[in-house]
């Protein structure tokens, strides 16, 4: 009998078709992962597109569902690059693209590991819940390691204009991130079950993930109903934030340190003249920004005289951001001094968490091999204390610049009695970038988290006054001098987030780790039963989605 002939033009066999489809699916998932990261970036300030964040995680959840851990790692890294490369672009403004891209790529690895965990738990019942908890694990680790971590870009920090913001007062930034991610992942699962239900699964199976979407979106309005614990009555004082501006952009602005100091003295004296003329209320205390006097006033009598003149003119203590040389003659401290006219510095707060690769260089001899910019890193050392100073009888919590990104530092200040928070910053190095708006968003979230007014004072903008509900009541432009002055409410209330501190984060992280463990154990047992239909389907799905 003759052997059967094969028509070259015939349809490919069923066994051949999945390979082509899997390659197409793999390419589509790569593009979708990077696109999802871009959507998350676009949800962050200065834009008010907060709703793009849940959509970003909905798209990411669709990409990760059913994927193996290895594929989830790759998708997560692509998501991280799509998000962090544009978000952190300001870091390369004056040191070139290489440090910026290296930083973004390194931080994207953390999102990749989170993606791997989210892919693993995507096969569990109620998968969006566990995957959102895994995301919190990734943020918790990224905010701590290496060299103290980089919490910049946490999902919760992108929500100051959204309805979920009140969640921060219940569980801090970790819980705010969790509900943001959960809303998106549950939305994706709801749509999937409605559009492409699994064989034998009724469409009513979409009820559970739809309930998670509703619960996540209602979390904000419900959290707003949780009252803060009052330990004393509110009172108001008048606080001024002075933005003196800098004479030139870029890293070399420090070469004109005296001009920066003179600008802040001049702007404070202008405020004093307005007070005398009845055009502005008399402030009880004045906040100058970080680096407003990079000339050490403890060693330079002329700088001290200038600051004292400004404090005497305005008739109020001034919080002066300065750089102080330490007794060892080599290291420096990024400090905020409370300056009283005629008495000089009466209190001091040193920055408690200094910035690696900027204020100091870890492994200096090693990193100096790769870039000449390494020589520009300083020799700053962290200071002690809870970050609180007393100004005119007001306990002021001080978070110097990027310290506002760290949960523990702000919580310590509030626990130590701060009734208002000050965020003195110097963003001049980063030019006309989005960095200052990203930092302002963090300050707004902190205001809600701890039920405190926040005063942001920067050398070059954007300075702002923020009420305890996160509303910006006044703000300056960028690279213009300006002064914000007005009544500020002081509160000694305690929110649930303030009392719980890191408990919500640890609980969510434990759930995420446990879910990964359970899913991994289940997958191992499934591989041990290769003849079972579910295991075979999972193995085939994994092969397809790995490309």
Q: Is residue 401 flagged as an active site residue?
A: yes
- Residue with tokens 């020589």, as numbered in its chain: 375
- Alpha carbon distances (Å) from 346 to 302, 332, 391: 18, 19, 9
Q: Which of 107, 139, 267, 401 is catalytic?
A: 401
Q: Which residues pair with 293 in a beta bridge?
A: 322
Q: Report the alpha-carbon distance of residue 440 to residue 546 in Å, rounded.
A: 40
Q: Which of 139, 189, 267, 290 is catalytic?
A: 290
Radius of gyration of the chain (CA): 27
Q: Report the alpha-carbon distance of residue 345 to residue 113 in Å, rounded.
A: 47
For 486, list phi and psi in degrees, rounded to 5.
Answer: 175, 175
The crossing angle, in degrees rounded to 10, of helices 168-195 and 207-223 is 160
Q: Which one, of 35, 356, 105, lies nearest residue 97 by Cα? A: 105
Q: Report the alpha-carbon distance of residue 459 to residue 435 in Å, rounded.
A: 14
Q: Report the alpha-carbon distance of residue 121 to residue 69 in Å, rounded.
A: 9
Q: Report the relative pairing of strands 472-475 and 464-466 from DSSP bridges.
A: antiparallel
Q: Report the alpha-carbon distance of residue 366 to residue 191 in Å, rounded.
A: 50
Contact in structure between 411 and 501 (CB atoms under 8 Å): yes
Q: Which of 351, 412, 449, 505 is catalytic?
A: 351
- Residue with tokens 């990203």, as numbered in its chain: 438
Q: Is residue 505 flagged as an active site residue?
A: no
Q: Report the alpha-carbon distance of residue 393 to residue 253 in Å, rounded.
A: 34
Q: Report the alpha-carbon distance of residue 358 to residue 462 in Å, rounded.
A: 21
Contact in structure between 349 and 387 (CB atoms under 8 Å): yes
Burial class of residue 339 (count of CB atoms within 10 Å of its CB; 0-12, 13-18, 19+): buried
Residues annotated as part of the active site: 290, 351, 401
């Amino acid at each position: 009998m003759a052997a059967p002939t094969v028509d070259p033009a015939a349809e490919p066999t069923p066994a051949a078709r999945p390979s082509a489809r899997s390659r197409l699916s793999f390419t589509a998932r790569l593009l979708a992962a990077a696109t999802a990261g871009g959507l998350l970036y676009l949800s962050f300030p200065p834009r008010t597109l907060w709703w793009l964040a849940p959509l970003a995680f909905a798209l990411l959840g669709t990409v990760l569902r059913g994927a193996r851990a290895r594929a989830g790692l790759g998708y997560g890294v692509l998501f991280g690059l799509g998000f962090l490369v544009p978000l952190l672009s300001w870091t390369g403004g004056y040191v070139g693209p290489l440090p910026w891209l290296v930083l973004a790529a390194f931080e994207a690895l953390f999102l990749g590991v989170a993606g791997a965990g989210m892919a693993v738990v995507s096969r569990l019942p109620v998968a969006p819940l566990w995957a959102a908890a895994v995301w919190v694990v990734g943020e918790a680790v990224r905010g701590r390691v290496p060299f103290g971590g980089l919490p910049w870009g946490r999902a919760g920090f992108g929500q100051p204009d959204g309805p979920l913001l009140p969640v921060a007062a219940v569980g801090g930034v970790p819980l705010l991130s969790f509900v943001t991610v959960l809303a998106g992942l549950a939305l994706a699962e709801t749509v999937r079950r409605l559009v492409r239900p699994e064989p034998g699964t009724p469409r009513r199976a979409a009820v559970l993930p739809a309930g998670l979407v509703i619960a996540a979106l209602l979390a904000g309005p419900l959290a707003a109903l949780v009252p803060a614990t009052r330990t004393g009555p509110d009172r108001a004082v008048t606080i001024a934030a002075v933005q003196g501006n800098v004479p030139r952009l870029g890293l070399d602005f420090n070469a004109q340190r005296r001009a920066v100091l003179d600008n802040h003295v001049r702007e404070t004296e202008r405020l004093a003249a307005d007070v005398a003329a009845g055009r502005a209320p008399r402030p009880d205390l004045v906040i100058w920004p970080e680096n407003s006097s990079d000339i050490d006033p403890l060693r330079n009598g002329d700088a001290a005289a200038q600051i004292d003149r400004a404090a005497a003119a305005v008739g109020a203590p001034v919080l002066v951001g300065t750089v102080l040389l330490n007794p060892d003659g080599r290291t420096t401290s990024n400090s905020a001094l409370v300056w009283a006219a005629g008495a000089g510095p009466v209190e001091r707060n040193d920055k408690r968490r200094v910035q690696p690769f900027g204020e100091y260089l870890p492994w200096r001899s090693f990193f100096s091999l790769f870039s000449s910019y390494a020589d520009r890193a300083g020799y700053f050392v962290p200071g002690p204390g809870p970050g609180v100073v007393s100004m005119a009888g007001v306990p002021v919590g001080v978070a110097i610049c990027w310290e506002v990104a760290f949960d523990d530092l702000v919580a310590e200040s509030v626990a130590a009695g701060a009734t208002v928070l000050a965020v003195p910053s110097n963003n001049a190095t980063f030019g006309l970038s989005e960095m200052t708006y990203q930092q302002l968003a963090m300050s707004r979230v902190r205001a809600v988290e701890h039920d405190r007014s926040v005063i942001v004072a920067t050398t070059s903008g954007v300075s702002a006054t923020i009420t305890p509900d996160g509303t910006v009541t006044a703000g300056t432009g960028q690279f213009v001098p300006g002064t914000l002055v007005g009544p500020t409410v002081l509160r000694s209330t305690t929110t649930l987030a303030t009392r719980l501190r890191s408990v919500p984060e640890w609980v969510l992280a434990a759930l995420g780790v446990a879910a990964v463990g359970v899913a991994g154990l289940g997958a191992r047992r499934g591989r041990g039963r290769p003849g079972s239909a579910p295991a075979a389907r999972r193995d085939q799905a994994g092969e397809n989605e790995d490309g």
